[in-house]
Every structure is written in structure tokens, then in C-alpha cells.
Structure 1
């Protein structure tokens, strides 16, 4: 029975996109194209850029004797159908974007692991297992005596290390073991970053299943509908939603992020880190930004799914969809009942009128001449002004937001902190332009910060000397993007 169950599971897995990619006829070429375009550097590409780069890479492969008979657009359509590519249309985007599916990413990293094998039984992996197992045993122990004994032993070990440091005995890891541990950390971090894609796919499936439940629920109100009308965020309250919310809170925690960023800076500055590959060093340097970007993308998807599901219910669109769903089921049942009496090829004397559209020649269209609607752009010369530069600068500051000063304040804050919010900046640098400074920080955060769905209360003093407070979105400015704040 064990062999039977295993074989059945593998047969089911063989039909998945992951296995189909590994077993494709032109798997080396397809995987090489997907990895170079959507894994090594960019994770998402707009439709126009992706098609252009794919066509250029395919032409290069053809020049070296590889046979690729289809066009880039045809291959993209095939890869979407196979489940190796997914396309999304983000809010506000001008065109759709392409990215790898979770199965395709796993297949590519599996092959890369074979091409660049690592030592399987490393000291760091064993130490990690032992450390995590020991920590699990301690944190699940309900006996106060044993936990007290463990803490006492830990305190004694720390005291011995402090005494050794006072005697001048500093012991560090050899370079080869430090490199081993660094690469193990990079491997774990890469897997963590790739898990976001699977989490987002899980939310996508959950969104579809909830909509299907709305369609198939009996009566005027089903369980899903009752929960939505009660204000329950079903996506956020799901198992994946609660797990991701806990991870997102940890990732956006100021203290934890500061510890992570400080540790990364210290490791990269160590002499052994110079022996890492350039790709590995860049990955460590951008680790915090990568996690924030990937996590922020999943967070946006969760919020978008939740809003769209609530809008779907509140607009009563689900009622029309349910009605169509019922009509389709009735038609299927009627077809099943008629199947024994009517052959598929039988003549039933019923005709459908095909729809058509009026055909017009392209020559009948008139091109728009933009010069006909150009406004007069001439500017008359103004009389010379007697105002000095200081007066003009003061007038500009009163009428426009001083973004240059706001950027400078943010850069100063990020030199000593790994991430800051608008409220923290205003505590150190009061709003010189009152509410205008607050609006300026929000505008900079929308372009250069990490936006969350939370709100924070900020305060400022207006031009009339009255202190005011307001609630603005919680936006994190991170040190990794400080260069974007340059004028």
C-alpha cells in the first residue's frame, strides 16, 4: 500500500506545472529564458518589455543553432497555459505584468541546486537543527525547575565568556566556517523570499474559493455571505492570512528591523565576507529591502482581494453571478436528460443568428492634428521687480512645499535609524510649513517609502501658532532607499 500511495501521489505531481517544466521537450532553452528574464534580476516585467527582451534572447539562441520555430508572443501564450507564467494587472498600471509562477520558480531553483551543489552535511546546518530543537524543547517545557536550570546554565556560560573577554581571549570562527554559515543564511533567506510567491498564490486560490462558495451557497444567505455582511475579513482571518499578518508585524517592527540591519552591516564588513561571490554580497546588502518589497507586494494583494470581495458582495454583483450560475446548471442538467433521446449529430431545426459588426475601411478615418489645439505659449516680458532674493524665497516657501528640506530631514534621520515614520521625523524636525510639510512627507512616502494600511497620529504647529493633530497613513522610510531621496 505504501508503494501504491506514493505512486499515486507522484502521478498526480507529474501533471503539475513543476514536473511539466522539468520534462518539457525544450526544457533547457525554456528554463534558461525564464531564469535570465524573470529570476536572476527582475522578478516582474511589463508586457512590452518582456516581449522585447524575450524576442532578443530567442534570436540570440537561434544564431547559435537552437530551433525555436514560434514567435515570442506564441511562446508566452503557451507558457501561461502550462502554468509557468502568470500575468497580473496591478492597479494604476498602464499594461499587464508577467512573472514566474511558484511552481516554475521552484523548478528553476531545483535545477540551479544541481548545477551548483553544496555540501549536504555541513556543520552550520547541524548546529542550526540542534539549536532550533533545543529552543523548541525549552519553550514548550512546563516544568519551572528545568527551565530555571536551563536559564542558570545559560547565565553561567555567558559569565564564562565575559571572563574570557576580560582576559583578552577573543575567539572567532575560522573563515571557512564563517563562509559556510553565511551561505547557509543566504540559502534560507532566498527560500524565504521565494515563499512569498506561494503565499500570494494561496491567497489567490482562497479568493476564488470564497467567490465560488458565494455562487454555490443555497438560500438567500450562506455562511460566507453572513460573515462578509458581519464585517469579517475572511481572507485576513484565514490560516494563511493570520500567519502572514504575524510575519508582517515582525518585519515592520522597528526594533527587530534595526537589529537585522545592524547585523547585516557587521557581517558584510567582516574580512571573510570579501570571499563571498558578488551576487551573494549584493543579496545580503539588499536583504531587508527585498523582504520589505516581497512582503509589501503580498500585503497589497491581500488588501486588494479583501476589498474586491467586499465590493463584490456589497454591490450585489454576486446575485447576478449566482443567477447565471444557476442558469448554466439548469442547462447542463437539461442536456444530460436529453442525451439518451437526442444524438449529438441529430438535426433539431433550430437556428442561431450570428452577431456581426459593421466593417469600415481604414481610409475613412481622419488623423488628429495636435497642432490645431496648441495653446498660445508666448510669454510677455514683465517689468523688473525690486524684490530681493530673500523675499522671493520666502514667498515661494509660503506658496510651495519645500521638498528639498524635507528630503534632507529624512536623510539625516536615516543615518542613525534603519527606518522612520512621518511622526518620528516630525518629532525631531518640526513642520516649518505646517500642514504643507505633512502633505510633503506623505507625497515623498508614496514615491520612496513602504506604505502600510495602518494610520498614525502626527502633530504640527500652523502659521497661526495653534497646535494641530491629524491621522496619516503609516509610511516607513528605509535606509536602503535613502539614495532615492537625493535631489
Structure 2
């Protein structure tokens, strides 16, 4: 509590009231409109970056609906978006991505909206599950940090006795007694849903913290006046500081844990098992966590993108002539400003410039259409040496193996009756059984056998996994007889 006292002084709260974006939103006269729209557009559907035109149309519709109830609003939808994205407000972040402009909610704006959301009266508040969570966390800290051998043996022995007693009861009776009643199940499910949603909210603040560190590094680089060697050393040290900070290490640990296929499969299977329980089945539609893993990945990927901006700065500033060109630019700007001050009040005499050549005009339709670059992502997880004394070898035998000879036989079978066949036609006869791994096997087979990849035409490949229909979009692939399949 002493550490929190400095945040609850009159001076600090007065500064927050004047400068903090969240408090500024709560003070705004049209706060109900802003908070309702932010929840409807971003927080409710759990969306992040929204294209500017789409958000503008959503706001236009939202303001029209609100105007019918409370009168006209003073500004247009476009003016509102530009105003909210201004640094003096700080409620939206406007950024460019692949030639288009996007808006995303800032961390302070999300805090303000979620605080308003927390004011509604809750029909059910679980306290027993949260109390157990506190006890379990404290016990985990105490047990996992205790290096006393006697204490550890005593704990493991007590756990062994409990497990042995439960096994004995099951063997004697053949029944498994539920350890949670309906109320406890409901409590724990709501707490899990609240924590999972809170993780999404935390990502915006984590991303904002990383972005602030990135801006600091960029500002230091722009003002750099020493040699390039010292500049590179500073960039690398700042990058290490961000990634090795407590927040950086916590985020990277979360990312590594989330991206493990075993963890994703375990989460998906556990959610299916939990949501089938009779006690919480009526709550699943309103509090479903079926898509939480995908939402976590999207939010964490946005943070990873922010971290990647430091690497982009490396490529930009490593140029040999960067420092010299930067100083020349500032010198030119200073000369222009100086001449502008000298000419103040002298009118436009002597400032007319003639051009000896005609300007080149490029019509909009003459430009080439944008083609997204092909990116290759390589992941190199850290490997740790083991002694082989612990763990299970079952995971080694549970790997997905694609039989390439079987795929080749499928293609060859269809090519016996025709001269060419597309990948979609092959999959119509032999549907995917192993998902994306099997589809990737077909693509590798096509590249090795000189099959034709048609970039102008795309094919939609539909397959099932865990009872859900999924769709993959890829270039049209055409296998021909005589290209390794005859």
C-alpha cells in the first residue's frame, strides 16, 4: 500500500484529471456516445485495427441512430475520428498499413470504457473461486520456491497419499465423485472468462508501452551526432532492454507458450469438454470462449509487430550516408526558415519561379495494382538439453505424418483419365484428412513436379478439423500428365 499512496495524492490526481486520456474521456460531454461506440466497434466484437472507411461508415450509422434519440451532434463522423485520433485526445491510434489507413483503440480509452462497463450491477458474483485462486497462487509460490528437501518430500508424499486414496475409491466403487457442484462450476467458468478477456485488454497497454519505448529509441537515433558504430551499439542495447525487460520477458514467455501446438490442442479440447457441462451450458452462448485462442494470437501478433519496428529501424539507419544526409536536411530546413523570416512583409515580388520542363502526369489508373509481397516466416525456438529421465515419449508417436507417395498416387490416378487436373479436383475426389499439413504436401509435390501455379486465379479449399469447417485460399495448381505423374 505505501507504493500506491503516491498515486492517490491530490497533486497526482489533479495531473491525471488534466492530462490522462481515460479521465479526459470520462469528463467529455458526449462521453456516453464515445464509450458506447468504442464498445460496439472495438471491445464488444474484440476487434483491433479497423480500416478507416469501415469505421467511418459504422460511426455514421451509429450517430444517425443516436441522433434520433438525443438530437443532432455537432461534428461529422470524419471530424470525430480525426479529433479522437489527435494527440490532445488520445482515444484512437491512426496508422498506415499497406497503403490504407486504420484506427485502433488506445489503452487509456479501453480502460475508461471497461470501467464504465464494470459499474452495472452483477446478478451473480463468485467469491469462493477467487478466494481459492488466491490461496492456490500463494501455495504455488511457497512450494515452487522452497529448496528444503524435507519440505518438498513431505508435500509430494501428501499428494501421493491423496492420489492413492482417490484411486482406491474408484477401484472399489467404479464411480468418480464430482469435486465441484453446479455453483462452483459456474463461478470458475465466469472467472476464467473474465481473466481471458482481461488478457486481451492488457495487450493494448503492453503494445502501447513497447511503442513508447520504440519512439524513444527513434528520437535518440534522429538526434544522434556521433559515429555509426556507437549508433548501432545503442540500437542493439535499446532493443535488448525492451526484450529483456520484465514486461518483455513475460510477453515472450506468453507468446512461446501460446504458439505451442500441444497447448492449442489442449485448450481447444478442454474448452469443448467444459462447455458441454450441464451447469454452464445455458451460459455458453453469452460467455463462449471458443474463439479466445484466435483472439489471443491476433492481439499478441500486434505486439510482435510493434517489437519488429525496431528491426525496421536498423535497416533504415544503417545506411552509410544517413547521418550526413540527416544533417543536410536539417540545414536546408533551417535555410528555408531563415529566408522565410527575411522575406516577411516584402510581398511576392521576386518569388515567382519558372519551369523549363513540363511536369509528368501519372493517371491513377496507370498505376500497377498492389501485389502483397510473399513473406517467409522462420521460427527458431530455443532448445534446452534434457537428461531423458523425465517426461513421456508419447508425443513423439503422436506427430502428424503426411505420406507423400500416397498424395502422388492420388494425382496420378486422376491423370490416367485426362491430361491435366487441378488441385481442387484432386481434393474433391480425395478430401483432406490431415488438414493444412496434407495441403502443404500437395503444394510441395506440385513445386517438385513442375506443376503450374496460376496467380490470376485463386481456389478455395474447404476441409474439416475437430468438427469445424475451415477454408484455405491458394493459387490454382494444375498437374499435367508427363510431369512426374504418368
CA distance in 1: counterparts of 2:75 and 2:353, whole angstroms: 31
Which residue matches 1:147?
152
Mark the CA change 1:321 to 1:196 in structure 2 (over 3 Å): closer, same or farther: farther
The one of 397, 401, 413 equivalent to 2:434 is 413
Distance 2:85 2:197 in 1: 25
Write the deviation string for residues 250-275 of structure 1: whole angstroms up to 9, x where unpaired: 11112222221111110111112212
Checking the alignment, whether the CA contact within 8 Å between 2:6 and 2:12 is kept in structure 1 is no
Aligned to 2:22: 18
Residue 102 of structure 2, aligned match among 97, 101, 116: 97
CA distance 1:319–1:133, change in 2 (3 Å): same
1:315 aligned onto 2:319: yes
Distance 2:322 2:244 in 1: 21
Cα deviation digits, residues 369-418 of structure 1 (max 9, x gap): 99xxxxxxxxxxxxxxxxxx955865324xx5x2565699895225xxxx
The aligned residue for residue 376 of structure 2 is: none
Question: Could you say which residue in structure 2 is the equivalent of 1:160?
Answer: 165
RMSD across aligned positions (CA): 4.6
Aligned-partner Cα distance in 2 for 1:438–1:240: 48
Distance 1:328 1:478, change over 3 A: farther
Give 5+ residue unaligned stretches, structure 1. 336-345, 359-364, 371-388, 415-419, 441-446, 449-476
Change (3 A) 1:232 1:277: closer
Q: Does residue 7 of the first structure (1) align with residue 10 of the second (2)?
A: yes
* The one of 436, 448, 473 aligned to 1:435: 448
SS of equivalent residue, structure 1 residue 99: strand
Unaligned runs of 5+ in 2: 355-360, 367-412, 454-459, 475-486
Q: Does 1:190 align with 2:211?
A: no
Alpha-carbon distance in 2 for matches of 1:26, 1:120: 31
- CA-CA distance at 1:185 after TM superposition: 0.3
The Cα shift of 1:6 comes to: 2.1
Give 1:208 deviation, angstroms: 0.9
> Structure 1 residues 19 and 478, CA, compared in 2 at 3 Å: closer, same or farther?
farther
Contact kept in structure 2, 1:179 and 1:273, CA below 8 Å: yes
Structure 2 counterparts to residues 22-421 of structure 1, below 5 A? 22-41=26-45, 42-81=47-86, 82-90=89-97, 92=98, 94-117=99-122, 122-166=127-171, 167=173, 168-221=175-228, 224-228=231-235, 236-276=243-283, 278-281=285-288, 284-303=289-308, 305-315=309-319, 318-319=322-323, 323=327, 351=346, 394-397=418-421, 402-403=423-424, 405=426, 412-414=433-435
Native 8 Å contact 1:407 1:485 kept in 2: no
Conservation of the 8 A alpha-carbon contact between 1:228 and 1:234:
no
User: Aligned runs of 1:461-480 on 2, under 5 Å?
Assistant: none
* SS of residue in 2 equivalent to 1:285: coil
Aligned residues: 406
CA distance in 2, matches of 1:126, 1:224: 51
Q: Relative to structure 2, which stretch is displaced further, 272-281 or 80-89?
A: 272-281
Matched residue SS, 2:93: strand
Contact 1:251 1:292 in 2 (8 A): yes
SS at match of 1:64: helix
Residues 1:279 and 1:69: Cα distance change in structure 2 (over 3 Å): same
Contact kept? 1:214, 1:224, Cα under 8 Å: yes
Shift of 1:422: 7.3
Q: 1:486 to 1:321 in 2, by over 3 A?
A: closer
SS in 2 for 1:115: coil
Match for 1:483 among 466, 470, 475? Answer: 470
Contact 2:7/2:13 (<8 A) preserved: no
User: Separation in 2 of the partners of 1:182 and 1:421?
Assistant: 33
